[in-house]
């Protein structure tokens, strides 16, 4: 396996770097937080973003991005989506044609309404598609770090690269499936965070599995409706990156987006929840972006609309659920 650099010391970046390091000794982690690097270097633990997990003794850390990029053949991008463009701009003068870029980030850029691969094409030029892969699927960072068997999908336009990375990343812990639907993986991975906020709100109101399962089913139709409009394949939304990741984040309390929604339903403000943790809930920015994108494309997305109204327009969670239940009656397979 090529030398690898994971860029981003959050929970997912740290867990993925640890996983890679246990398969190959030549793996380094770059993070902007010096306290994260110091703790990993001395204690073998990321106490800020992944506490309680003992990291591989072979995992290296670096505070020098330029040096670390120069040494690596594979760059794993694990920064929050709202910081992706600025990070790619830092990497632009350092990027080589032989670099492989694996994106772990899930989200749309809220201003441009672009996916991460589209942002990369703007920064690096369209030729970067030969180097770019996106990995997505039902994968809590803590569970991967604990060695729980996990399956994900990886998508790219470069089929030769896709097959090679699938082989290099797969193990008895992580099973990787190939996908040719890059756009579908990006849409599914991004929008499931919005729906996880909705699921957390349902939990915060004290509703049970009837409500959550109903919401998840309708959410997947809503996500696929937008995805197909953007050129994705319908079957992607019934796979690991689609319904798999959606179920994980909507039924699993480890999800940051789920917890954010739950706390808001229990009475906290969005600002208070975000200020209480250094971790980023990607669904907040994605909700803002998707609300605009759906309006621009005239795609009906009622769950996303209600989450947006709660987060940014002061609507109560109780009212939002009530308004979803009062929508006009229709066939289950209607386009809206």
Catalytic residues: 192
User: What count of other Cβ atoms lies within 10 Å of the Cβ of residue 14?
Assistant: 27
Task: Walk across the sheet containing 4-7 and list its strands.
Answer: 60-62, 27-30, 4-7, 74-77, 100-103, 132-136, 150-155, 174-179
Spatial contact of 240 and 151, defined as CB atoms under 8 Å apart: yes
**Environment class of residue 139 by beta-carbon count within 10 Å: exposed (0-12), middle (13-18) or buried (19+)?**
buried
Q: What does the alpha-carbon distance between residue 193 and residue 250 come to, in Å, rounded to a whole number? A: 9
Q: Which DSSP helix (H) or strand (E) runs through 288?
A: helix 282-297
Q: Is 122 exposed, middle or buried (0-12, 13-18, 19+ CB in 10 A)?
A: middle
């Amino acid at each position: 396996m090529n030398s690898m650099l994971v860029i981003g010391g959050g929970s997912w970046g740290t867990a993925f770097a640890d996983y890679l390091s246990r398969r190959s000794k030549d793996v380094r982690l770059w993070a902007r937080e010096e306290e994260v690097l110091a703790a990993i270097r001395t204690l073998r633990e990321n106490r800020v973003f992944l506490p309680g997990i003992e990291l591989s003794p072979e995992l290296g850390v670096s505070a020098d991005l330029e040096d670390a990029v120069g040494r690596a053949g594979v760059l794993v991008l694990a920064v929050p989506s709202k910081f992706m463009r600025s990070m790619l701009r830092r990497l632009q003068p350092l990027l080589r044609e032989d670099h492989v870029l694996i994106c772990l980030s899930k989200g749309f850029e809220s201003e441009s309404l672009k996916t991460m691969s589209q942002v990369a094409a703007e920064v690096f030029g369209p030729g970067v598609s030969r180097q770019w892969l996106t990995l997505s699927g039902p994968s809590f960072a803590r569970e991967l770090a604990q060695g729980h068997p996990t399956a994900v999908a990886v998508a790219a336009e470069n089929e030769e690269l896709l097959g090679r990375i699938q082989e290099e990343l797969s193990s008895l812990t992580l099973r990787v499936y190939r996908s040719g639907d890059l756009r579908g993986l990006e849409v599914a991975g991004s929008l499931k965070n919005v729906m996880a906020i909705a699921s957390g709100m349902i939990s915060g109101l004290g509703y049970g599995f009837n409500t959550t399962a109903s919401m998840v089913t309708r959410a997947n139709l809503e996500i696929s409706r937008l995805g197909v409009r953007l050129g994705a394949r319908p079957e992607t939304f019934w796979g690991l990156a689609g319904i798999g990741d959606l179920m994980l984040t909507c039924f699993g309390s480890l999800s940051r987006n789920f917890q954010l929604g739950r706390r808001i339903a229990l009475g906290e403000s969005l600002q208070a929840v975000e200020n209480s943790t250094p971790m980023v809930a990607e669904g907040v920015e994605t909700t803002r972006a998707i609300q605009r994108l759906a309006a621009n494309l005239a795609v009906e997305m009622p769950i996303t609309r209600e989450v947006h109204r709660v987060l940014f327009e002061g609507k109560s969670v109780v009212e939002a659920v009530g308004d979803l239940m009062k929508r006009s009656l229709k066939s289950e397979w209607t386009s809206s």
